[in-house]
Chains A and B, each alone.
Chain A
Amino acid sequence: MTLLQDSQPGRPSSDPRSPGRASGPRTAAEPAATRRRRSARRRKWPLSLWIASGFLALTALAALLASVISPYAPDAIDLGASLADPDANHLLGTDQSGRDLLSRVLHGAGPSLVAPLALLALASVVGIALGTVAAWHGGWVDALLSRVTDVMFAFPGLLFVILVVSVFGDGLTTAVVALALAYSPVVAKYTRSIALAERSKPYIDAYRVQGMSGTAICALRLVPNLAPQLLGYLVLMFGQVLMGMATLSYLGFGAQPPSSEWGLMVKEGQAALVQGALWPVIVPGTAIALVVVAFNIVGVRISDRLGARER
C-alpha cells in the first residue's frame, strides 16, 4: 500500500469520470496501456456475477410483463387439474385449486419484489435521518436515539410487526410500514457510525467555517458523501428484507389472498405437502431463494465497488 501511496498525488484514479487527469507527456504507449487496464477490469466480472445479474434482470422483466407472458390468469381455477405435476399444459404444475403455478409465480414477482423495495426505501429514509441526526448532534440526542434503537434491537422484529398488524389490521401496506419501522434502527445504527467518521473530516469543519447551517451541511453535503457506502449496505440488506417480507406473508400478516405473493404461495402450498405434492411449495420457495442469492451476489459486488472507490 505504502508503495502506491508514495506516488499518490496526481495519479489519476481508475474512475473514468475523473476529468483533468494529471498532465504528463503523452506517448504512444498510452492506448495500449489503457486497453490493457480496461480489459483487466472486464475480466474481473466473474461468471456468477453475469448469471446473477442476468437472472435479476429477467425476474424484473417477468414481473413487469407478467400479465402478457403468463399462460393463464393467476386465479383461474381448474379443479380438474388439481395438484398436477409439470407437463406441457402447466409447465410448473398446479396447486390444490388447479391454478397454474407458473402464472402465479410470475404474477407474484411484482408484489414480492416491490414490497421489500418500498419497505427498504421507507426504512432507509427513517434510518438515515435518525442516524445522521444522532451523529451530528451527539450528546443527549445521540444517547436518546441510541437507547431507542437499542430497545428496537432487543425487541424481536417479527413480534413487533405482529403487534402492529394486530392493532392496525392486516394487509400489505401495514406490514410494509411495520417492517420498515423494525428495520430502520439497523439502518440508523450503520448510518450513525459512518456519519460520525465522515463528520470528523475537516471538510465538514470547512463548511461550518463558511457559515453553512448544520441542517444544510447534513442534508446537502454529509449524507450525499455517505451515499455510496449506504447504497452498498442497503443492497446487501435487500435479500434479508425480501425474506422478512415473505416470512410475514407466510405467517399470514402480509399479503392476503388472492394475491400470489411468494411467501403467501408457500403458505397455501403447505397443505398440499400432506397430500404428497411438492410443487406448490417448491416453485415459490425456489423463486425466493434464487432472487435472494442473486441479490447477494450482485450486492456484494456493488458494495465492494462502492466501498473500494477512491474517495
Chain B
Amino acid sequence: MTMRTDAAPLLHIADLTVELPGAGARRPVLDGVDLRVHRGEVVGLVGESGSGKSTTAKAVLAMLPDDAEIAGTVAVGGADVLGMDARTLRELRANRVSMVHQDPRSSLNPVRRIGDYLTERMVHTMGRRPADARAHALELLTAVGITRPEQRMRQFPHELSGGMVQRVVIAAALAGDPELLLADEATSALDVTTQAEILAILREHQAARGLGMLFITHDLHLAAAYCDRVYVMYAGRVVEERSAERLFRDPRHPYTAGLLACTPELGDARALRPIPGRPPSLDDAFAGCPFVARCPSAETECETWRPFPREIGGGVDDDGVVACRLADVRDRPGPDPVDQVVRIEKVGS
C-alpha cells in the first residue's frame, strides 16, 4: 500500500485508453490502463503479444500514431506528456525518459560508428561541445562494462556482438541522464548469460542513479525475479498489479495463475497446463471480461462484467489490484460488482 500512497509518482498513467482506427481493430489497444512508477523502483509490465504492453511504453514517449484516439493521462514527473508541444516533447525524450528496445541493432545506423552514435545526440540535441561529448561517451561505455572504449568508439555496429550492442544502446539511453528508463523486451533477444549481464548493468545504474524503470517483458518469471512490482496485462487491460514476490507466490487473477502454470520453470517437472485458446487480437471485441473464454473459473456473469481494478483483500498478502469479478477484494474502494453490472447494462441499452 505504501507504494501507492506516497509522493507523486515519477510516471503516472491514469485511465489511459487508446484506440487505433486501423483496419479491423474492434477494441481499444489500451483500455483504462492505470500504472505508476516511482523513483528508484523497477516495475515489470508483463503480457503476451497484443496485450498492449509496447503501446503503453510508446504512450509514455508520446509516440502513438497520429490518428490514434487517446483518452486519459500520461504524466512524467507531474507533466502531462500527451499535451506537450513539440519542443517540450523533444526535451522529454532527450533528457528525461529513455527507451531501450528489443532489437538493439535496429536502433543503430549500420554505417555510422559507435562513437558517432553516442556523441551525435549529445552534440545536436543536448548542445554539448564535441570534445565534452566524446569524453562523456567514453565514460558511459566504461560504465556499461565495455573494455577498450576508445577502440569501440571507432567500430561499426556489425563488428560488435549482440550483448555489446545492447550495452552501447544502454550507454546512449543513459547519456541524457534520464529519470525514467523504459526497457521494452530489452533482453529478450539475448542469450541467457548475456541477458543476466545486461540485467545486472541496468540494475546497477538504476540503483546508483535512483531511476524509475519500466521493465516490459513477456517472461513472467523474469519479471518476478527482477522487478519490485509487476503489472500483468491482457487484451489492453491491467488484470493484476502486485509486488513481484506476492504475484509469484499467490496470483489472484486467473490469467496470471494460468500464465504461471503454463510457463516452464527450471526444476519444476510438473506437466505444463496450457491456457486454452489464443491471446486475443485487436479484432476480438469483448462485452465483459476479455479472459472469459479461456478462464477455468468463468461464470455466466463474467461475460457481461466489465473489469475494473479492485483492491485485493481477504488474506495476508492483500496488496495490489486485480481486475477479476471472482477475486477476494476489499469491500469499500471499488464499486460493488453487482452495481457495476447493472450500470454497464444501462449504458449498453
Q: Which residues of A contact B125 (CB under 8 A)?
A: none
Contact B65–A7 (Cβ < 8 Å): no
Known: A2-B54, A25-B286. A7 touches B23 (CB 8 A): no
C-alpha spacing A147/B283, complex, angstroms: 51
Contact B285–A29 (Cβ < 8 Å): yes
C-alpha spacing A14/B22, complex, angstroms: 11
Contact A33–B26 (Cβ < 8 Å): yes
What number of A-B contacts does a CB cutoff of 8 Å give? Answer: 62
Question: A4 in the interface, Cβ–Cβ < 8 Å?
Answer: yes
Closest chain A CB from B138 CB (angstroms): 32
In the complex, which residue of chain B has the Cβ closest to the Cβ of A2?
B54
- Interface residue total, chain A, C-beta cutoff 8 A: 18
Q: Which of B44-71 contact A (CB under 8 A)?
A: 49-50, 52, 54-55, 58, 64-65
Contact B285–A12 (Cβ < 8 Å): no
- Given contact pairs A2-B54, A3-B29, A22-B284, enumerate 12 new A-B contacts (beta carbons under 8 Å): A3-B20, A3-B54, A4-B22, A7-B282, A9-B278, A12-B24, A24-B281, A24-B284, A24-B285, A25-B286, A33-B24, A37-B23
Q: Which of A9-23 contact B (CB under 8 A)?
A: 9-12, 14, 22
Known: A9-B50, A11-B282. A3 touches B58 (CB 8 A): yes
Contact B281–A7 (Cβ < 8 Å): yes
Among B52, B54, B285, point to the contact of A27 (Cβ < 8 A). B285
C-alpha spacing A2/B279, complex, angstroms: 17
C-alpha spacing A29/B287, complex, angstroms: 12
Q: Which of A56-83 contact B (CB under 8 A)?
A: none
Q: Is the interface of A mostly helix, strand, loop or mixed?
A: loop
In the complex, which residue of chain B has the Cβ closest to the Cβ of A1?
B65
Question: B280 in the interface, Cβ–Cβ < 8 Å?
Answer: yes
Q: Which of A25-43 contact B (CB under 8 A)?
A: 25, 27, 29, 33, 37
Q: List 15 A-B contacts (CB under 8 A).
A: A3-B65, A4-B20, A6-B55, A7-B50, A7-B281, A8-B281, A10-B278, A11-B282, A12-B24, A14-B24, A22-B281, A22-B284, A24-B280, A25-B284, A33-B24
Contact B49–A8 (Cβ < 8 Å): yes
C-alpha spacing A7/B282, complex, angstroms: 6
In the complex, which residue of chain A has the Cβ closest to the Cβ of B51?
A6
Q: Which residues of B contact A11 (CB under 8 A)?
A: 24, 281-283
Q: Which of B161-193 contact A (CB under 8 A)?
A: none
B interface list, Cβ under 8 A from A: 20, 22-24, 26, 29, 49-50, 52, 54-55, 58, 64-65, 278-287
Known: A2-B54, A6-B54. A22 touches B23 (CB 8 A): no
Closest chain B CB from A268 CB (angstroms): 54
In the complex, which residue of chain B has the Cβ closest to the Cβ of A5?
B49
Binary interface encoding of chain A residues 132-148 relative to chain B, with 1 for a CB under 8 A from any of its CBs, else 0:
00000000000000000
C-alpha spacing A25/B54, complex, angstroms: 25
Known: A3-B20, A3-B65. A12 touches B283 (CB 8 A): yes
Q: Which residues of A contact B279 (CB under 8 A)?
A: 9
In the complex, which residue of chain A has the Cβ closest to the Cβ of B64?
A3
C-alpha spacing A2/B55, complex, angstroms: 9
Among A8, A14, A25, A37, point to the contact of B285 (Cβ < 8 A). A25
Known: A9-B278, A11-B24, A12-B24. A3 touches B55 (CB 8 A): yes
In the complex, which residue of chain A has the Cβ closest to the Cβ of B50?
A7
Contact A6–B24 (Cβ < 8 Å): no
Q: Which residues of A contact B23 (CB under 8 A)?
A: 14, 37
Contact B55–A9 (Cβ < 8 Å): no
Contact A24–B283 (Cβ < 8 Å): yes
C-alpha spacing A3/B26, complex, angstroms: 15
Known: A3-B58, A9-B49. A29 touches B26 (CB 8 A): yes
Binary interface encoding of chain A residues 241-254 relative to chain B, with 1 for a CB under 8 A from any of its CBs, else 0:
00000000000000
C-alpha spacing A283/B171, complex, angstroms: 67
C-alpha spacing A22/B50, complex, angstroms: 14
C-alpha spacing A225/B24, complex, angstroms: 26
C-alpha spacing A29/B27, complex, angstroms: 11
Contact B281–A10 (Cβ < 8 Å): yes
- The 8 A-B pairs at the shortest CB distance, nearest first, are namely A24-B284, A7-B50, A7-B282, A10-B281, A11-B281, A7-B281, A6-B54, A11-B283
Closest chain B CB from A277 CB (angstroms): 56
C-alpha spacing A37/B283, complex, angstroms: 13
Q: Which residues of A contact B282 (CB under 8 A)?
A: 7, 11
Q: Which residues of A contact B284 (CB under 8 A)?
A: 22, 24-25
C-alpha spacing A2/B106, complex, angstroms: 13
C-alpha spacing A195/B166, complex, angstroms: 33
